[in-house]
Amino acid sequence: MHADDVFKALADPTRRRLLDLLCEQNGQTLGKLCEHLDMTRQSATQHLGILEAANLVSTVRRGREKLHFINPVPLHEVYERWVRKFERQRLSLLHDLKQELEGG
Amino acid sequence: MHADDVFKALADPTRRRLLDLLCEQNGQTLGKLCEHLDMTRQSATQHLGILEAANLVSTVRRGREKLHFINPVPLHEVYERWVRKFERQRLSLLHDLKQELEGG
DNA sequence: AGAATATGCAGGTAGATACCTGCATGTCAA
DNA sequence: TTGACATGCAGGTATCTACCTGCATATTCT
């Protein structure tokens, strides 16, 4: 897994919006997704390409259309590997700061 | 909460490394953190500034030193608001793709 | 076949980003 | 007070990024 690609892909609000749109209705075409975005089709294509490179979106060609599907696996892996560590130590990390602020 | 700041802050590998370093030992100074990074102190300062702006790191001055502490709260909020939605639908989202691939 | 539709590809540009160097400020300790 | 130490601040630059326009290709429908 390439954590950097996933994080970079998530860093852009348009790409998070695309994931949201696909979450509402999975398997949408490029044109359909563009209806909800305030930019040219070509720009949206680039964003979808980045999501695809990060393996967050998988595509299937159907005739002249290209269907886009969310792949939730990388998100899950990123969470497991990067976020849960901080979650586990959440209270103790806050405790460290609190103690310092109190002059510990 | 400013989700965009948090995601952008997490998009850089150096900044994720800084969070890791603070997770290992919370409350480190700038100089201490720099020992583990292959860049100038000034560059590291910028990264820490971005983490602080995203509220992922809180700082406390102690004399001429500046102590850095992780704040795990924004990470938790981002997870709750952005990741769990996909988690909940994980299996059904994969199901959509599988069905399309099988010619559904 | 020919028109309409859906997407692909090749540049071009303004602004953001991640580095850097150089110098200034503030704090501690002898 | 003075030297050493820790950090702050002001630019400067190369690269990346996100957008655009223009044109090409592929598929469907009449």
CA of A31 to C1' of C5 (A): 10
Interface test with A, best of B1, B10, B51, B85 (most A CBs within 10 A): B10
Place of tokens 């075409």: A29
**Closest to A6 (Cα-Cα) out of B3, B30, B7:** B7
- The pLDDT of residue A20 is above 90: yes
pLDDT at res. B104 = 62
Sheet holding B28-29, edge to edge: B28-29, B65-70, B57-62
Residue A104, pLDDT score: 61
CATH number for A56 = 1.10.10.10
Residues of chain A in contact with residue B26, where contact means CB-CB under 8 angstroms, are 93, 96-97
Question: How many domains does chain B contain in total?
Answer: 1
Q: Where does B1-104 have alpha helices with state H?
A: 3-10, 13-24, 30-34, 41-53, 73-78, 84-88, 90-101
Lowest-confidence segment of A18-22, A60-64, A83-87, B33-37 by average pLDDT: A83-87
Confidence of residue B88 (pLDDT cuts 50, 70, 90): confident
Averaged pLDDT, B3-17: 97
pLDDT of residue A90: 85
Residue B80 structural domain = 3-101
pLDDT at A95 over 80: yes
Q: Are A49 and A30 in contact (CB under 8 A)?
A: no
CA B100, B89, B80, B2: dihedral to nearest 10 degrees?
Answer: 30
Give strand letter and number of the nucleotide nearest B59 (CA to C1'). Answer: D7
